[in-house]
A and B are shown apart, each in its own frame.
Chain A
Amino acid sequence: MSVSITPRKKRNKQAVGFLPGLLADKKSRKIVAPIIAIGFFLIVWQLFSFGPDANLPGPIKVVSQTWELIINPFFDKGATNKGLFWQIFASLQRVAIGFTLAAIVGISLGIVVGTNGFLFDALDPIFQVLRTIPPLAWLPISLAAFQQANPSAIFVIFITSIWPIILNTIVGVQQIPQDYVNVSKVLQLSRREYFMDIVFPATVPYIFTGLRIGIGLSWLAIIAAEMLIGGVGIGFFIWDAWNAANISQIILALVYVGVVGLLLDKLIGFIAAKVVPDEQK
């Protein structure tokens, strides 16, 4: 019976053609479908740019105008005239420093506040107010405080990404199952052992949620901050291109910013998948 069924199935597949066949298969569809969507988008975009009073270049024009930048991301002609790799690298460096600081301070603060009812009651309203402040609103204050562009930008990253980390860590600590707390009580774990063996591992899933939101916010903030403070960085690159009326460069930079943001998010997600045990997910 089964012998006669198998060839018939094959025949059916051949009959529907190549593209629909790819779309029918769930795995290949995940790749093929977005490609179709992007292609469609590019075509529409290109069609619009043909208009007589179009202000923005079409995709073909963008690529041809920025071809130098695309094929040569590593050039360094001094000052701010550097390849896109170096621009993004500079931005990532600031994010790395600011975000790392935010993670360290945010997690520690979150654990302390989460375990202490008094501190939580005292600080939670303040956190709730501060977290709603837009990243750029911090910039003048930090410039006034640090007097220098680079530390100010790092501070903006720090202050933007710290709130989700703190708040998620607090929730994580407060959500520790009573069972784990009971285990630590029965075993009479010391306070340090309790933090290291119970609180921290139990909170890890929540911490990673906070980190993931934080990294997204910090990448948002760095672009805006760099536009204002200048120097090397993808944000200032965009601002510079605007001043030079080079719309194609701006569009290229936007694509790069989007892709890097996505990669950062995936990176944190990947680490979380490695670290968080199955049962806590």
Chain B
Amino acid sequence: MSNFVEANQIDKVFFLADGGTYVALKGIELEIRKGEFISLIGHSGCGKSTLLNMIAGLDSPTEGVVMVDDTPVKDPGPDRMVVFQNYSLLPWLTVRENITLAVNKVLADLSKEERQEVVEQHIDMVGLRHAADKKPGQLSGGMKQRVAIARALAIRPKLLLLDEPFGALDALTRGGLQEKLMQICQENHLTAVMVTHDVDEALLLSDRIVMLTNGPGSHIGQILEVDIPRPRKRMEVVNHPSYYSMRSEIIYFLNQQKKVKKRQAAIKKGAIARHGLEKINLEIGFLPLTACAPLAVAKEKGFFNKHGLEEVTLVREASWRGITDDIAAGYLDAAQMPAGMPMWLTLGGMDNKSIPVVTSLTLSRNGNAITIAKRFYDQGVYTLADFKAALKNSPQQRHTMGMVHPASLHNLLLRYWLASGGIDPDRDVNITMIPPAQMISNLEAGNIDGFCIGEPWNLRAAMAGIGFTVATDLEIWEGHPGKVLGVREDWAQAYPNTHVALVKALLEACYYCADENNAQEVRQILSQPKYLGTDQAYINLGDPDLNSCSLDHPMRQYAHHQFAGVGINRPSRTEQLWIMTQMARWGHVPFPRNWVEILERLCRIIEFSTAARELGLLDVSYQRAPIRLFDGSVFNTDDPLGYLNSLEIKHELYVAEIALNNPRPKVA
């Protein structure tokens, strides 16, 4: 079906009183199909109402054209009826007269009786029969908005435009009207565009949510498809498995817009060189997880300062997405990353655009587990084989597993674990991305059947009796890399001494965390609001709290975080190669033909070795054995393609040359 509304390269420039200009909108491209419900969301002043007004014809674009039903919009017209934010009822007319004025004008070709019938029918539709002869001054806000909606619908528009229609209403009234509007739109197959500030309102009503960036020069930053089936109920949509991930996606976008200005100012400040280091003012991103301990400790215990990095700011991000975006944009100098993220970014996992990222330090290992719902346990599912049998017995059901990011080891381990038991993670189950904090509530609501995630979430699911730990690191890959330090390759090239100093500071912090004598202090640091902001009881560093996962059977031994030790912190090409093959196996990225080159550039062993030597640590020689996984297979590093081809369960493979930019020589 062709597009009903099309905005082509819309620019809107306002001419200011002082002779200057303000570019409100820049290069807006938007296509809306017939019958779609679209929300425009963004911060105040981003031009979303201006865009709506241009579709309505109340405002005209400076450049470009808006087409509605294949006709360019020049003037406003009743076929594109607007429901204004402040109702816009004429206060000297009664409810009935307000609607009649519109109907008489627009439906002039109907007979008087027919027009009257239309008016009465719409008064009934919004349930205002008792107030039909009242003037707007005597009505409440909700009633006024109902009149405005009735007036808009009575003239049978092709397109309904709503400008923050429920903004001024109380929550209860708003909820009722939202459902009414949804019902009306569905019954009449209306196409609608709504401007809103309310994320939940947008999710409830829309088929697609169009997010606008902040002005000046606002453009469409992202379009989110809302795949929640209709008819939707206000109280039920929140239970949809992807509801919260979509919600956090929008909130993430809006927060990101707020931060952009601040970040740009920080970048302008430039690098401060001191003590023979090229840059001592660093912004380092982290996520509030137990595994962020080395960064927090390096900051609080002064390891950054000790190695000359005197102005380090730890930037707490809400999701891995925040880390990837800010690394890509260059807002962050370095970041704590899941072990797979440098590879994922380098191979173009993010928007198919290769961003070379290197790692020179592994910050932590282990700390993850796979949890499945308690009902499986009740059915007698204790192992992977049992789980497969349980899935086979219920083929009509769609089974969903949760994980936090495609580049995280959780995703790869979960898929590997499933596949080793003969479960195809793409066909037999559905793997979905859910923020860690929402994992348990989704499991409890039955939206997902299980998840693979870092602590403390497995523990908490077990403690709450919602799920049970079916496999831990010990059973999948003991000692797998958890989080690593990641920096952009061009950054590493520009600030080599800073890079080594950073590795030194963090490596020392890793050893500090690993010392059992410091456990209490580390726990105390992590529990601060600027880091995890959680009760110390949930921060499990060393020995497992056996009581908390004391399901009678099967009691799993718990793999705790490893922060330091021989072979722990050194970046490993073998491991990165395994990650590379697994990502290619599931089609996240192509397998690079130049895999040797990529591995060598990605794993910066030289910085690690220099740092370790200067700290006097004897972790310089490389002696790691090949990776042994729980299924008994030994990973062969010589022939990754042969390994991939030998796998039975996999996504379609594709091999490609990943051309990395030649790093620019440093300009001093």
Contacts and interface: CB of A to CB of B under 8 A. Distances in A.
B102 A179 contact: no
Contacts of A189: 105
Interface stretch (A131-139, A143-151, A197-205): A197-205
Nearest to B103: A187
Given A186-B78, A188-B105, A189-B105, A279 B137 contact: yes
A277 interface: yes
Interface residues of B, number: 27
A177 to B, nearest CB: 8
Given A179-B88, A182-B84, A201-B92, A187 B106 contact: yes
Interface in B97-146: 101-102, 105-106, 135-138
Interface string A156-183: 0000000000000000000001011011
B555 interface: no
Contacts of B92: 201-202, 204, 277, 280
A25 interface: no
User: In terms of DSSP, what is the predominant structure of the interface of chain A?
Assistant: helix
Most buried by B among A177, A183, A277: A183
Contacts of A198: 90
Contacts of A186: 56, 58, 76-78, 80-82
B91 A277 contact: yes
Given A179-B86, A188-B77, A201-B92, A278 B58 contact: no
Range class of the A interface residue count: 20 to 34
Nearest to A190: B105
A278 B138 contact: yes
A204 B90 CA distance: 13
B105 A183 contact: no
Contacts of A76: none
Contacts of B82: 182, 186
B84 A278 contact: no
Contacts of A202: 90, 92
Nearest to B91: A279
Interface string B480-522: 0000000000000000000000000000000000000000000
B91 A280 contact: yes
A182 to B, nearest CB: 6
Nearest to A281: B137
A189 B155 CA distance: 14
A121 interface: no
A255 B86 CA distance: 50
A201 B135 CA distance: 14
A185 B76 CA distance: 6
Contacts of B90: 180, 183, 197-198, 201-202
Contacts of A183: 84, 88, 90
Nearest to B138: A278
A189 to B, nearest CB: 6
Nearest to A185: B76
Contacts of B102: 187
A193 interface: yes
A212 B80 CA distance: 42
Interface in A36-50: none
Contacts of B81: 186
A190 to B, nearest CB: 9
Interface string B445-465: 000000000000000000000
Contacts of A179: 84, 86-88
A186 B56 CA distance: 8
A278 B137 contact: yes
A193 B102 CA distance: 12
B162 to A, nearest CB: 13
A188 B88 contact: no
Contacts of B135: 277-279
Contact of B78 (A188, A204, A279): A188
B78 A187 contact: yes
A229 B447 CA distance: 94
Interface in A177-225: 177, 179-180, 182-183, 185-189, 193, 197-198, 201-202, 204
A135 B138 CA distance: 43
Contacts of B101: 187, 197
Given A179-B86, A180-B88, A182-B88, A188 B137 contact: no
Contacts of B75: 185, 188
Most buried by A among B77, B82, B91, B138: B91
Nearest to B139: A279
A14 to B, nearest CB: 43
A173 to B, nearest CB: 15
26 contacts: A179-B88, A180-B88, A183-B88, A183-B90, A185-B58, A186-B56, A186-B76, A186-B78, A186-B81, A187-B102, A187-B105, A188-B76, A188-B77, A188-B78, A188-B105, A188-B106, A197-B90, A201-B90, A202-B90, A202-B92, A204-B92, A279-B91, A279-B135, A279-B136, A280-B91, A280-B92
Given A182-B76, A197-B101, A204-B92, 17 more contacts: A182-B58, A182-B82, A182-B84, A182-B88, A183-B84, A183-B88, A185-B57, A186-B77, A186-B82, A188-B106, A189-B105, A198-B90, A201-B90, A202-B90, A277-B135, A278-B135, A279-B135
Query: Sorted from nearest, which 5 A-B pairs have the closest CB atoms?
Result: A279-B137, A278-B137, A179-B88, A279-B91, A201-B92
Interface of B: 56-58, 75-78, 80-82, 84, 86-88, 90-93, 101-102, 105-106, 135-138, 155
